């Protein structure tokens, strides 16, 4: 419950009445602002929020009903009670129609007024409590800048919070762009090492022969070019956290050395016989299936089991579409500020496109698309045109294709024969041309440079004569659909 | 035409203020407060005046 007193606005051209109500309302726990003129009151509504207003119906300059309209326009949540010394059924009905809470005749029944004010005060307290609860929820939705309202992300945040103070090693798995480094940062910041260094190495970006030197350092003369002693990342990160991204790319010899560091907490610089104690928390991340890598002999099983003592799996964005509006809102805030633009929302069409996108590049892709869209946008609200212009390629988000063909929506499944492949590609092409011609077969045949008869034969071969209507419906009915491949080879 | 309505409105407003303050005072003073009967008299007179205004307005229409 908030400590704020509810606020009452009283508007009456009779100062005696204002003084009476002010005194009564203060006793009932309200902050009171009084005005003898409706126009002054309305002009000050922008700077003063009121929970309830008590307005005289009959005033010389501007009538109570107009004041009621003005208040409802400026502050729709403000409750308005009208009062009059000259009650009439017509004005009472009009007031209620315009959204007045009640209509009191003078002399005012103070008990009735007290009841009304108590009702408003309770409602305002409930709203404040609700708002506080929402803020609390919003706070829980975020973990070190990561946003996840979905149950699946909440579970992940819980796990991160629980393991962060204790785990010596952790393995973060997830598709590209899903936020593995963010989780690694969260583990670091929520743990006892938050004051110490957080270093990152991207294992896919290091030349095989330099891995050991990068990780463990070298002494002068250890190899050609080693002109002086150099500490490795483990020594540099001593006491802190080392984030090893794409750990699946680590060559086998370096894996053996890494395992030793993790098990005994000692590093040996390349070319040195001396061991040095290090205390480093290792958070490894991969978008590969490490278990499969182990089976294939490309990743040491002992290292795998050492790393995955704690495994944190980040779900891909498509498994948590409910988070997309929250992520979108956060990114819009960020980029609106960055580009100094007044963008504060998206059109329903944009929201639908974002919600139904495949997002193979996950949160990073969503973020990049919104960054470009914000850069291009010129309005307050991001529209479909801004979004389309920000999409890389004609329908980047449309890759709703099975995994076997992931990465290229035009390619049929790998296991099919050449004849199957060509047939599928042909069918796909026919579908597309037919859709582009709005189902007009003559136009589609012209576009393909074949006779109408040939075109029909082809359609028949692929069972597209019957399917035509469905295909037309799919491509024509809903604009958002155009973001999905209308019919992929695998559908046939 | 509007003059009697304006008058009715104004006089009722003044009487409503008297009744209102009387109600406030009655709220604030205890049940055995010696001023209570006096306040009740004021309130009664103001209410009677209000009734008179209504009767007068009714007969004027």
Helix A15-27 vs helix B2-28: angle between axes, to the nearest 10 degrees? 30
Distance from CA of B34 to the nearest CA of A (A): 22
Within an 8 Å CB–CB cutoff, is residue A86 touching chain B?
Answer: yes
Q: Does A58 lie at the interface with B, CB-CB under 8 angstroms?
A: yes
pLDDT score, position A182: 92
Closest CA to A254 of A278, A276, A234: A234
As to burial, measured by CB atoms within 10 angstroms (0-12 exposed, 13-18 middle, 19+ buried), residue A327 is buried
The whole-number pLDDT of residue A455 equals: 80
Please answer yes or no on whether A24 and B24 come within 8 Å at the CB atom.
yes
pLDDT value for B31? 87
| 8 Å CB contact between A397 and A483 | yes
Residues of chain B with pLDDT under 50: 1
Tens digits of per-residue pLDDT, B16-25? Answer: 999 999 999 9
Distances (CA, A) of A397 to A358, A401, A445, A480: 5, 11, 29, 11
State the pLDDT at residue A404.
35
Strand A275-277 relative to strand A281-286, pairing: unpaired
Q: Which positions ≥6 away from A178 have C-beta within 8 Å?
A: A287, A314, A315, A316, A317, A362, A363, A364
Q: Are B41 and B19 in contact (CB under 8 A)?
A: no
pLDDT digits (tens, 9 = 90+) for A381-401: 888 888 888 886 544 444 433
CB A424 within 8 A of CB A492: yes
The pair of three-digit structure tokens given for residue A260, joined into one six-digit string = 């030793």
Listed as ranges, residues in chain A with pLDDT below 70 are: 1-3, 130-141, 392-422, 466-492
The answer to whether ipTM exceeds 0.90 is no
Sign (positive/negative) of CA torsion A128, A129, A130, A136? positive
Under 8 Å between Cβ of A293 and A153: no
CA distance A489 to A412: 6
In A, minimum Cα distance to B57 occurs at: A86
Q: Is the CB of B19 less than 8 angstroms away from the CB of A107?
A: yes
The span from the CA of A224 to the CA of A51, in Å, is 78
Contact (CB<8Å) A16/B5: no
> Token pair 């498994």 is at which residue?
A319
A52-56/A31-35 β-pairing: unpaired
pLDDT of residue A466: 58
Residues of B in contact with A21 (CB under 8 A): 20
- The span from the first CA to the last CA of chain B, in angstroms, equals 10
Question: A417 — phi, psi (to 5°)?
Answer: -80, 170
- Rounded (5°) CA angle A186-A190-A191: 115
Contacts of B41 (CB under 8 A, 6+ apart): none
Longest distance between any two alpha carbons in chain B, whole Å: 48
pLDDT at A128: 73
Kindly identify which residue of chain A lies nearest to residue B22, measuring between CA atoms.
Answer: A20
The pLDDT score that the predictor gives to residue A145 is: 73
Cα–Cα distance, A351 to A373 (Å, whole number): 13
Question: In Å, how far is A19's CA from the nearest CA of chain B?
Answer: 9
Please report residues of A whose CB lies closer than 8 A to that of B21: 20
Alpha helices (runs of H) in A196-342, residue ranges in sequence order: 211-216, 233-236, 252-264, 290-295, 301-307, 324-338
């Amino acid at each position: 419950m908030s400590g704020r007193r509810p606020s009452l606005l009283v508007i009456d051209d009779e100062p005696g009445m204002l003084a009476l109500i002010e005194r009564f309302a203060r006793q009932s726990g309200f902050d009171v602002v009084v005005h003898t003129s409706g126009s002054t009151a309305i002009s000050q509504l922008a700077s003063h929020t009121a929970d309830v207003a008590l307005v005289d119906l009959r005033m010389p300059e501007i009538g109570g009903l107009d004041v009621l309209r003005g208040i409802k326009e400026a502050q729709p949540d403000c409750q308005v009670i009208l009062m009059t010394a000259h009650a009439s059924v017509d004005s009472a009905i009009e007031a209620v129609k315009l959204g007045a809470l009640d209509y009191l005749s003078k002399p005012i029944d103070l008990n009735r007024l007290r009841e009304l004010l108590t009702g408003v005060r309770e409602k305002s307290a409930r709203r404040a409590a609700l708002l506080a609860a929402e803020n609390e929820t919003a706070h829980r939705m975020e973990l070190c800048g990561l946003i996840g309202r979905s149950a699946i992300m909440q579970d992940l945040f819980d796990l991160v919070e629980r393991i962060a103070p204790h785990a010596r090693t952790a393995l973060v798995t997830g598709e590209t762009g899903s936020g593995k480094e963010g989780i690694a940062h969260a583990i670091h910041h929520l743990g006892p090492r938050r004051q110490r260094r957080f270093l990152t190495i991207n294992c896919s970006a290091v030349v095989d022969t330099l891995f050991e030197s990068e990780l463990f350092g070298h002494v002068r003369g250890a190899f050609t070019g080693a002109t002086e002693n150099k500490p490795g990342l483990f020594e540099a990160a001593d006491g802190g956290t080392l984030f090893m991204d794409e750990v699946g790319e680590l060559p086998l010899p370096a894996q053996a050395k890494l395992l030793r560091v993790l098990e005994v907490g000692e590093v040996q610089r390349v070319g040195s016989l001396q061991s040095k104690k290090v205390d480093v928390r290792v958070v490894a991340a991969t978008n590969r299936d490490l278990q499969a890598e182990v089976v294939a002999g490309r990743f040491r099983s002992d290292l795998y089991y050492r790393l995955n003592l704690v495994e944190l799996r980040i779900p891909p964005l498509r498994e948590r579409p409910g988070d997309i509006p929250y992520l979108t809102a956060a990114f819009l805030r960020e980029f609106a500020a960055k580009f100094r633009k007044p963008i504060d929302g998206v059109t329903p069409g944009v929201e639908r496109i974002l919600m139904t996108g495949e997002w193979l590049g996950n949160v990073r892709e969503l973020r990049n698309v919104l960054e470009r869209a914000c850069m291009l946008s010129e309005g307050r609200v991001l529209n479909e045109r801004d979004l389309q212009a920000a999409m890389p390629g004609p329908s980047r988000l449309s890759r709703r294709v099975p995994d076997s063909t992931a990465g290229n929506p035009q390619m049929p499944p790998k296991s099919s024969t050449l004849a199957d492949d060509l047939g599928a590609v042909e069918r796909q092409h026919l579908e597309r041309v037919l859709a582009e011609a709005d189902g007009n077969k003559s136009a589609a045949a012209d576009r393909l440079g074949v006779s109408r008869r040939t075109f029909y034969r082809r359609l028949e071969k692929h069972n597209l004569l019957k399917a035509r209507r469905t295909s037309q419906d799919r491509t024509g009915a809903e604009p958002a659909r155009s973001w999905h491949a209308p019919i992929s080879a695998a559908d046939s | 035409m509007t003059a009697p309505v304006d008058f009715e409105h104004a006089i009722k407003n003044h009487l409503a203020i008297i009744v209102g303050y009387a109600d406030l005072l009655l709220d604030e003073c205890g049940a055995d407060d010696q001023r209570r009967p006096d306040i009740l008299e004021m309130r009664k007179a103001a209410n009677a005046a209000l009734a008179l205004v209504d009767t007068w307005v009714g007969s004027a229409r």
